[in-house]
Structure formats: structure tokens, C-alpha cells
Amino acid sequence: MFMRILRILSSLTLVWLVSASFTFGQSSKIKNVLLLISDDLKASTLGVYGDSMVKTPNIDALAGQGMVFKRAYCQGTTCGPSRQSFMYSRYRDDKGKTLGEHFIDNGYYSARVGKIFHMKVPGDIIAGTNGLDVEACWTERFNSPGLEAHTPGLYSLYNSDIVTTSLRDRVTTAMQSRWFVSVQYEGDGSDQPDYKTASKTIELLRQHGNSDKPFFIASGFVRPHYPNVAPKQYFDMYPYEEIELPEIIENDLDDIPKDGHTSVTSLNDPIGKYPDNQKRFWGSYYATITYMDDQVGRIMAELDRQGLRDSTAVVFIGDHGYHLGEHHFWQKNNLHEDVTRVPFIISAPGFKPGSSDSLVELADIYPTVSELVGIDVPNEVQGKSLVKVLKRPRTEVREAALTVGNNKEFGLRGDEWVYMLYKDGSDELYNMKRDPQQFTNLVNDPRFAKIRATWRKKLEERIEEAGLVRKS
């Protein structure tokens, strides 16, 4: 009788263990991590995020196989701070170990291909140099050089209304107006940095995909960062006549503090005189997104060929967003939604595809992929794991997402409200449900005085929690 009871208990224990493995160990078979990063890509210009014109079939397909975070926010508003932030999972410093070092310490092969930490684009791309890369992060690292604005082809400088095939006097590295340059040329794109990044990534997947040693491969594309260079066939997809410019309201900048403006606007730059060229710029931005998307497709096809999809978590992000004329603004380094909101997709074996409205940060990548592969998260990490959101998309990990500007300005994005505070004490408050384009700053409306005070307090608490100091 005793032995029979023991056998029953043993059977029940086995059933419980099997059940627990399915319930709690969904990520146990995940061995590898592939991190794909696009440069200056705003979330709203991807098909999966609602853009009806852009053609991004490969990113959209990845989204269909993973979790799309519809409200993901960067912690830095330009390339360098943002990339440092998510690679350390720190809001503004480099305490602790990088994500790559953490994986290396846990027995991983770690590789960088292209731009992960900050590189000057186009400067470091033309030179083939490492920029501000952290060598200790990688077992191996590979640059993807290119000619950028010096690529032979049809060169456009949109804010000067210049179109030429001449290679002379082209605006390039560290030169004024370089952000309004495009080059379309006859070719297949194989000479471009992003194609080289995809090719090297494919090579590494073949070399390390079926090794006993797991891999962490980070592949960084430079498009759609200026200069917008791609083969002509990509430009042909986006006739400027079919492009509608962002809505601009009268006196749009009157209620935005001076510190909330971008340095380049349609009001202080000649681009404002050329609305058709603004449309052409949008077309070139779209063209390079689609070109970059094709490189994502090449990598994902190789992942399938190597039989690695069932063992590899794939993360796709942009480092920050970009202004393309909204509020007359151009470029980045700004706390408004077009800059702070980023694409963020995780496709991980064992988790159902879907979408989540949970407010998440790029700082969350580090702890998330660590948990997915079953390694501990260092104490210095400030982000939060999103594994429970992968399991249950409605799970909330934080009340609001924090963004830190280059001049110690801060933004806090909540479900309904977003609040921005500048170093001179000026601020902005928007109701994102009623005013998603942020046309009406409510800080001076007495009806919202309590909300303003509440969100200022929330922001100051987050600043203190993150170990930051606000200049005043």
C-alpha cells in the first residue's frame, strides 16, 4: 500500500513538473539572441505601426510572429545617449557591464555588425571606423563602410533645391544641411553599408548558429539616417506627388517653450521654402526604410534556413524617432512623440504573437533578453524585464516611460498624459488621448493645474529614482 501511494505521488510530481515547465519555462528553449537596430527610424513610418504608404513587408512579417510594443519609448533623444542607455540599461550613465559583456560572462559568443554604440553617420561609415564602440562588449566586431553622400548617382540637397550627378561639392560629414541629402543610383544595393551588415550577419549565423556555444549578435543598420542613399528602384516606389505632409496648425510654436524646439525648423531653414522638396525628402526617407527592410528580410530568411527560429529570440528596435516637418521641426533631440516613440518588436520562441499597449522603454531590452535565455540580471540594470508582458500583453510594468534629453530636459509619457520639463523650468503638458499630435500645450490652462502639478511630481520622483540630477 505504501509503495502504491509513493508511485502515485511520484506520478503527480512528474505531472506537476511537466506542467510547470510549460507554464513557467516557456523561454527555456531560447538559446540565442539576435538584436536588430535601425537608425533614426520613427515608429509611425512602419506598416505595422499604421503607415499606409511605406513598404516594410519583412519587418511587418517579424511583427506578425512576435510581440509589437505599440507604446515603446527611448531614453535618449539622439543616437549616442540612446544606444548607451539600452546597451547598459541605464538612464544616463555607463555603470555596470554592457549587454554584450554580460552575455560573454555567461558563456556566449558576442558580435557586433555595423552601428550599435554611437558612430558618426556618415563620418565613421565612410572611414570604416568604430566610433564610440565599447570593445569589451564583443567577442568580434565588424564595421560596414560605404561612400554615403559620395555614392555616384543622382544627388539631391533638398533645402537648397540642388539636384545633380556631379560628385563635386557634395554636402557630407559635419557640414551644414547634411541632413537634407539623398542619393539615388543605379545598382542592387550590395555596395551599401546595410547590405554589408546583413551579409556579415548571415555569415555569422552560418558559423555560429549550430555551435554548442550560444550567440548574441547585434546588427545595426544606418538607414534611414541621413544621407538617404539607396538604389533608384526604392525611390521609384514613393512618387512625391502621392505624399502628404504632416498637418501644421497656425501659430503652432507659440505654446511650445524655446527649449522644446528643434535646432532646425521649416521657419529657420530654407527647407521651408520648398514644400515639394519636403515631400521628396519624405520619399527618400521611405526609400531607405524599404531598403533597410529588405536587409532585415535577408537575415530572417537565413535564420530560417539555419533552423534557428525555434532557439533564437529576435529583437527589432529603432534607437529614437525623428521629426520630418511636424510642428515645423526636423531631426531629433526633442521630447515630442515623433522623437521619443520607437518601434520595438520581440519575436521569441514559446510566446504567442500579439501587440501590447504596455508602456515600455528601450532600457528594458537588457533584462528581458537575459531572462529569456535564463541568465541573471545584474543589479546595476535599471530597466524592467518584459517577459511577463510577452506572456500576458495587458500586463503593465510601469506607470510611465522616462526620456532624458541632452540638456537634462525630461519627458514622462503616461497612458493619457505626457509631461515635459526643461532646465529653465518651462514645461509642456498634453492629453495624448484627445490630442495625440500634441497641438495644444495645457500648462497654462487653469483647468489642468492639478494635473500639471501631479505630473511634475511624478517626473521628479522618476528623476530621483533613476539617480539623475535636474539642472535648473
Per residue in 210-227, is it b (16+ CB within 10 Å) or e — as a string? eeeebbbbbbbbbbbbbb
Confidence (pLDDT) at 471: 53
Please state, as a whole number, how many other Cβ atoms lie within 10 Å of the Cβ of residue 11: 10
Matching residue, cell 512528474: 14
Q: How far apart are CA 234 and CA 197, in angstroms?
A: 19
Instruction: Calculate the CA 140 to chain-centre distance.
Output: 23
Torsion angle of the four alpha carbons 78, 80, 214, 142, in this order, in degrees rounded to the nearest 10: 110
Cα–Cα dist 68/361, whole Å: 13
Query: How far apart, in whole angstroms, are the C-alpha atoms of residue 184 and residue 152?
Result: 9
pLDDT in tens, 49-89: 999 999 999 999 999 999 999 999 999 999 999 999 999 99
Query: Three-state DSSP class for 83?
Result: helix
Alpha helices in 25-72 (DSSP H): 57-64
- The structural domains of the chain, ordered by start, are 28-378 (3.40.720.10), 407-472 (3.30.1120)
How far is residue 419's CA from residue 344's CA, in Å, rounded to a whole number?
Answer: 22
Q: pLDDT tens digit string along 88-115?
A: 999 999 999 999 999 999 999 999 999 9
- The residue ranges of the chain whose pLDDT is under 70 are 1-28, 470-472
| Closest to 181 (Cα-Cα) out of 164, 206, 200 | 164
Identify the CA nearest to 287 among candidates 183, 360, 374: 183
* Of residues 374, 362, 471, the one with CA closest to residue 413: 362
At residue 28, the pLDDT reads 53
C-alpha R_g of the chain: 23
Omega before 378 cis (within 30°)?
A: no
Query: Rounded to whole angstroms, how far apart are CA atoms 198 and 185?
Result: 20
CB 63 within 8 A of CB 345: yes
Helices (H), 264-375: 275-305, 337-340, 365-373
Positive or negative CA dihedral for 93, 459, 361, 261?
A: negative
* Sheet of strand 329-331: strand arrangement: 264-265, 329-331, 323-324
Q: How far from each other are the two terminal CA atoms of the chain, in whole angstroms?
A: 78
Cell of 14: 512528474
For residue 436, is the peptide bond before it cis, meaning its omega torsion is within 30 degrees of 0?
no
The cell for 409 is: 530636459
The backbone region for 181, taken as left when phi is positive above 0, alpha when psi lies in -120 to 50, beta otherwise, is: beta
Report the 10 Å Cβ neighbour count for 123: 15
Element containing residue 418 per DSSP (H, E):
strand 417-421
The Cα–Cα gap between 444 and 302 comes to 55
SS3 content of the chain, % helix, strand, coil (to 5): 35, 20, 45
